[in-house]
Chains A and B, each alone.
Chain A
Amino acid sequence: MIGVLIAELFPVFWVISNSLKTSADIFHWPPTVLPHPITLENYRYVVRGLGIGAFLRNSVAVATVSTLICCLAGAPGAYAIARFRTGGRGLSLWILMQLMIPSVALIVPLFVLFSRSHLLDTWIGLAIGHVSFNLPLAVWLMMGFFAELPAELEDAGRVDGCTRFQAFRLISLPLVLSGLTATAIFIAIQSWNEFLFAVVLTSSARAQTLPVLIATLIHPVTDILYGPMCAAAVIALVPVFIFAFAVQKYLIRGLTAGALKA
């Protein structure tokens, strides 16, 4: 059992190890598992030589803004659909379909739209682009959480004089807060990892995110720098791992919701 875990995670461990190796050590044959000596030169190069700070900043900005918009716009909608069946089956079906449709169908129109409104190569534009595929996901996940709440609580609130929105804000929201947080983190991870939109909608360090930088390291114009490539990859994966660990319980619940019969 532990063997399976090790076999599965070993490739990741190896990349981390490679990021700490000197160039000579990486090319060493037979390949070594642990770096010897351990060096931080790859990280230094990535930070100073490549300016990963800018890309990090962009990734953080895009993920934050996109998540914020999705949560703010999605929560009321998810509540309305879960509680009052607004829009009926049509709307729910539409949201589900949006999850299914490949985003490549979205990207050309978005590209044209953005180029005409001067949103290309801005991180705000990219964040908005991310919303187009994150929002259905957010609504779908949050719908599940809102549906679990017993309606009696809100009815009690309304009997005491709340408006519907107050009931939503003061009663339902606080109760699903943990679920919402998990949804927000999941969406943030999706944005952080996202590649297609980032590559298409941006063209310079002004707005490009981490995955784009890593991609240029994998296919550079000149020689491939394996060490820095691994270092950049590690920088990209550490936040994801931390966040994923923090919310794994909710992630799993959300992902498996379709398979279980309550």
Chain B
Amino acid sequence: MLAPTLLVLVVTGAYPYVMNLFYSLRRWSVVFSAGSGDFVGIQNFVAAFGDRSFMSSMGRTLVFVGLILVCELLLGLGVALLFNRELRTKNLFRSLILLPMMLSPVVTAVVWRMLYSAQFGLLDYLLLALHITNRRVEWLADPRLAFLSLAVATIWMWFPFSFLVLTAALQGISQDEYEAAWIDGASSWNAFRYISVPHLLPAVMVILLVRFIDGLKTFALILTLTGGGPASATDLVYYHIYRVAFQMFDTGYSSALSIILVVVSLLGSWLIWGTGRRFSPEVP
């Protein structure tokens, strides 16, 4: 019964992982050398920790993910609270809000490229018209801003996810608790803090975990929007690995780097999950 699934899974899933491990222990390039290259043990892994560009891209990525997590969560929460009432057009609204998430990252890149353009972009026009700046801002070409621009585009794309999960969780909270609190004279802030928040924590955990892992994988947006950013400003780790593999053709090293990334994401997930469990008994 299970045989076909297992077969496909193994061939497409397990085999590449094993091969990846295999490659990471070697020093070779798929383009320049036939065969499998020379065995160098863990040299690739050791080299990674001394590789300044890799380590800084890793650091940059962690900062980036931290930033988008916080913003997506807050934005999603805000919108979820705002929309948390009975509406007849709820389905339409929800599918509309869902849209940025369903777009291809390439399409999102087009969208934001148009907005960020210093020549005809709407963003610059608004800033100038409102006299917030007096010069056109180079969102994508300025090393200091490119990182933020990428973050904003990513947050725009993904906050609907946080909105959806939080809305679902909000609707699962029974109204009785709120009524009881209101009868006892609780303020809205207290009601939020002592009733809503504990019930929302499992949902927040899900969002943090999923988006953490996904955020580490930010790639398409970087390739199409900033190309690694002016002066490596947006060179995040996934993109970095891609470049090592397909522009520098150092296949063995890139395999090692990807394994390091997997370890980091597993570690990070475990940390987030552990912290969540300590904060709330409701988290599984």
A83 to chain B, nearest CB (A): 9
- Is B164 part of the contact surface with A, judged by Cβ < 8 Å? yes
Q: Could you say which residues of chain A place their CB within 8 Å of the CB of B105?
A: 193, 195, 211
A106-B20, A218-B109 known; 7 new pairs, CB 8 Å cut-off, are A1-B82, A31-B120, A100-B269, A115-B30, A195-B106, A217-B110, A240-B103
Contacting A at CB under 8 A, from B30-53, are 30
The interface residues of chain A lying within 8 Å CB-to-CB of B103 are 12, 193, 237, 240
Of the 9-residue stretches A38-46, A132-140, A151-159, A173-181, which lies at the interface with chain B?
A132-140
Q: Which residue of B lies closest to A243 (CB)?
A: B102
Most buried by A among B110, B238, B245, B262: B110
Within 8 A of A (CB), among B98-152: 98-100, 102-107, 109-115, 119-122, 125, 129
How distant is B69 from chain A, measured CB to nearest CB, in Å?
16
Are B102 and A240 in touch, CB under 8 angstroms?
Answer: yes
Known: A195-B106, A259-B168. Contact between A14 and B16, CB under 8 A? no
- Report yes or no: A132 in contact with B104, Cβ–Cβ below 8 A: no
B142 to chain A, nearest CB (A): 18
Query: In the bound complex, what is the Cα–Cα distance between A77 and B10 (angstroms)?
Result: 13
Task: Report which B residues bind A (CB closer than 8 A).
Answer: 1-2, 4-9, 12-13, 15-17, 19-20, 23, 30, 79, 82-83, 91, 93-100, 102-107, 109-115, 119-122, 125, 129, 156, 161, 164-165, 168-169, 172, 202-203, 206, 213, 216-217, 219-220, 223-225, 227, 238, 241-242, 245-246, 251, 254-255, 258-259, 261-262, 265-266, 269
Q: Is the CB of A237 within 8 A of B23?
A: no
Knowing A108-B23, A110-B16 touch, does A102 contact B4 (C-beta < 8 A)?
A: no
User: Closest CB of chain A to B159's CB: distance in Å?
Assistant: 8
Type the 1/0 row for A97-132, where 1 means its CB is closer than 8 Å to any CB of B. Answer: 010111111111111110100000000000011011
A74 touching B5 by the CB < 8 A rule?
yes
A residues near B165, Cβ cutoff 8 Å: 255-256, 258-259
A/B pair count, beta carbons within 8 Å:
257
Cβ contacts under 8 Å, B213 to chain A: 100
Determine whether the beta carbon of A211 is less than 8 Å from that of B83: no
Q: Are B164 and A102 in contact (CB under 8 A)?
A: no
**Minimum CB–CB distance for B97 against chain A, Å:** 7
Contacts of B265 in A (CB 8 A): 100-102
- Is B246 a contact partner of A105 (Cβ separation < 8 A)? no
Decide yes or no whether A261 CB sits under 8 A from chain B. yes
